[in-house]
Structure 1
Amino acid sequence: MPFTPIHLGPGLAFKALGGRHFSFMVFGGAQVLMDLEPLIGILQDRDVLHGVTHTGLGALVIGSVAAVIGKPISTMVLRWRKIAHPPLTWLAAMTGAYVGTFSHVLLDAIMHADMAPAWPLLRGNPMLDLIGIDPLHLACLVAGVVGLPMALMRAKAQARSSG
């Protein structure tokens, strides 16, 4: 299923680690951009759903797009929703975007046989079934369950120190 929320678990863990240097909003936007190709493939009944966008090269291109459009969109949404937030830097946008796209390729490569994550250098998917789908999903869930409270505590501490 495209736009799987399971990718957000590791994003919360990265937010806990990166704090203001990691944009979770841009990370989430990058996840959606990554799965536009599979969505189109599903709608067109294609055999290969995870093509060039689900490669290292695709992650680099989509990450760049996600950073460039994600920073102004995220800044606007935060301002519109009146959510107190430190200024969203280009570093935070790029970190969120590239961690988002490259982690997406890694996680999907473990579970989707139609991928060639190292294309054009290698054909096929050497990461397929590296671990089972259930342990993979559990690891993503645990990353989110652990990352969310840590990210919230870090944000509160940063707000106290700056305010």
Structure 2
Amino acid sequence: MPITPLHLGIGSCCKAIGQQRFSMMIFAGTQFLMDIEPLLGLIYGWQYLHLYTHNLMGATLIGSIALLIGKPISQWLLRSILNDRNWSISWRTAAISAYIGSFSHIFLDAFMHHDVYWFYPWILKNPLLGLIPYSVIFYSCICAILIGGFAWFYLCKSKNES
């Protein structure tokens, strides 16, 4: 199923660790962009759902697009929500968030989908396929969302109290 929230587990943990040096909004936007190809593939009945975006070149391209459009969109949204015109996301933070988003996406999907070829179009093999059962990946991502989320809230709370 494309556009699954399970990939957000990695982002949640990165946000807890990186705090202001990681943008969860850009990371989540990258996850959405990564899954446009599989969504279209399901709609149109394509044989391969992860061919062009779920490889190293595709992830680099999607990460770059997410970086360029994600920074201004996220910055505008957060300035509006926080009502602080000086609030900003650095290009470094945006790049880290976008590229962690795109590369972690193909890493996780490689364990589950036969058509994730990291070195497409040169090598059409997926050495990670089936190494970890889907249920382990599913529950690990759920746990990562919870652990990362609680850690982030705890660290924010303790930072505000000091």
What is the TM-score of this pair, normalised by structure 1?
0.91
RMSD: 1.8
**Worse-superposed segment, 39-48 or 147-156:** 147-156
Q: What are the ranges of 5 or more consecutive residues in structure 2 without an aligned counterpart? A: none
Report how far residue 144 of structure 1 moved. 1.0
Matched, 1:36 2:36: yes
**Worse-superposed segment, 83-92 or 29-38:** 83-92
| Contact kept? 2:15, 2:24, Cα under 8 Å | yes
Percent identical among aligned pairs is 42
Matched, 1:3 2:22: no
Report how far residue 156 of structure 1 moved. 3.6
2: CA distance, partners of 1:21 / 1:128: 32
Partner of 2:143: 142
2: CA distance, partners of 1:83 / 1:49: 41
Report how far residue 86 of structure 1 moved. 5.5
Partner of 2:89: 88
**2:76 partner amino acid:** M
What is the TM-score of this pair, normalised by structure 2?
0.92
Partner of 2:66: 66
Report how far residue 120 of structure 1 moved. 3.4
Q: Which deviations, in whole Å up to 9, do the C-alpha atoms of 1:22-60 show, x marking residues without a partner?
A: 111000000000000011111111010001100011111
Report how far residue 17 of structure 1 moved. 1.1
| Contact kept? 1:8, 1:28, Cα under 8 Å | yes
Paired residues in the alignment total 161
Q: What are the ranges of 5 or more consecutive residues in structure 1 without an aligned counterpart? A: none
**2:97 partner amino acid:** G
Report how far residue 152 of structure 1 moved. 1.8
| Contact kept? 1:2, 1:35, Cα under 8 Å | yes
Matched, 1:122 2:106: no
| Contact kept? 1:22, 1:91, Cα under 8 Å | no
| Contact kept? 2:79, 2:87, Cα under 8 Å | no
